[in-house]
Chains A and B, each alone.
Chain A
């Protein structure tokens, strides 16, 4: 083969390699959208018309080592929802969500989220007591479902501010070898709409870092607040 032919062959080969690399990156990028991020390694989707979730001040229970033993997780200091952030609910059904809130209060920046919205009767039951609203500094977290852009005709919006336990509450329960205070138990009900994939999210800035004081003191929106599998996830209505 002549020198000119060799150069052409080399050029074509390099072009094919670059094009293949770009194609692989595109495929990986598109596929990553489908999963909408990271989930606890061993947690299956929480399914049914009655769902129980727990919120811990760390991620020791659900994000521990891959062997299943608590501790040594990727971010043990991050707050977390357990056992899963992928919820599967039946369509057009009255569902009951029970949240065991082990974490203390952090408070809200946005007063919109201090009111219960979208539940049956606009109420939640905190340790058996019906409440429609809490003070701005009471929530440790929120459980807020919002509608995807392609579901205009069946909007689903649920917001429940979840009061935190007292800062000085003593550890009283053991979960998977970890000590936590006695949790607030919050129960609420809402009716699901048409099938679709919704997202849910905590609107209390309970994460780490991100904005800092230089931007109006809007801090703690990073870490678990910016990573699926901790304080946000999906609700698949089917």
Chain B
């Protein structure tokens, strides 16, 4: 390595030892801080969960965030550390042409193996985690869920319960503890049907029916659907209430809307 133009050999910060240790220390401290912040904010930024699917989605979001923080910080810390510490400074009156390249990078087998090994392990974990989530959502699903037909139209959701005498509503009413599957379509343009509390998200395509995996509401309460695909002038108005109620309240609501309970519900499924 050549000497910096503004001093003797060894006076430049790059020539001093301990850079890796210092950068790793900064990276470790920042990682711990940001992970603590992410975990602490998780409850505030994630939606209320009212199904195991939504709970798994929230957990996945948090785990992926916790894993991503040290990876992202590793890159950023070393980039900014290098920019600050190894920045070549020009002496007074010197021109850019007076600057010389720094020392060439040397390959390190250990660093390369560690980098590839850690990223490969992370990728395999993420794939495995996703497949595990998909497995739990599909294999344990009820074979006879309550089917709700959802139609999106600028700018309103309408719900139809074909097995309950064709009850129709602009409010999504669901019984707690009963598996539900949504068949979703659109009458005009692309919409996006999302119930955050249930972990449901699917496109509503005009002229096509899409079906969600089965989801079971496990908590009574008031929630919301929203359109998550920009669909026109009043896209922001395209929401509807979701009410998860007890089985008896649901039966009363169905009856009040001119329908009747199906055999599956009567059997206590």
Contact = CB atoms under 8 A, between A and B. Distances in A.
Interface of A: 36-37, 109-112, 144, 146, 148-149, 152, 155, 157, 199, 201, 203, 205, 210-211, 215-218, 221, 225-228, 232
B211 interface: no
Contact of A221 (B154, B170, B236, B237): B154
Nearest to A37: B233
A112 B168 contact: yes
Contact of A210 (B170, B188, B224, B239): B188
B153 A199 contact: no
B208 interface: yes
Given A149-B236, A216-B208, 5 more contacts: A109-B187, A144-B156, A146-B170, A211-B206, A225-B154
B187 to A, nearest CB: 5
Given A112-B158, A218-B188, A146 B237 contact: yes
Contact of B160 (A112, A149, A232): A112
Interface in B58-84: none
Interface residues of B, number: 27
A205 B187 CA distance: 9
Contacts of B239: 149
Question: In the complex, which of the residues A111, A205, A215 has the most CB atoms of chain B within 10 Å of its own CB atom?
Answer: A215
A154 B101 CA distance: 70
A203 B208 CA distance: 19
A36 B241 contact: no
Contacts of B232: 226
Interface of B: 151, 153-156, 158, 160, 168, 170, 186-189, 205-208, 222, 224, 226, 232-234, 236-237, 239, 241
Contact of A146 (B155, B168, B189, B222): B155
Question: In the complex, which of the residues B168, B188, B189, B226 has the most CB atoms of chain A within 10 Å of its own CB atom?
Answer: B188
Given A211-B189, A211-B206, A228 B236 contact: no
A35 to B, nearest CB: 11
Nearest to A157: B170
A218 B187 contact: yes
11 contacts: A110-B187, A144-B156, A146-B155, A211-B189, A211-B206, A216-B206, A216-B207, A221-B188, A225-B188, A227-B233, A228-B233
Contacts of A157: 170
A219 to B, nearest CB: 9
A210 B236 CA distance: 20
A232 B207 contact: no
B188 A205 contact: yes
Contacts of A226: 154, 232-233
Nearest to A219: B188
Contacts of B158: 110, 112
Nearest to B170: A157
Contact of A203 (B153, B189, B237): B153
A74 to B, nearest CB: 17
Contacts of A232: 233-234
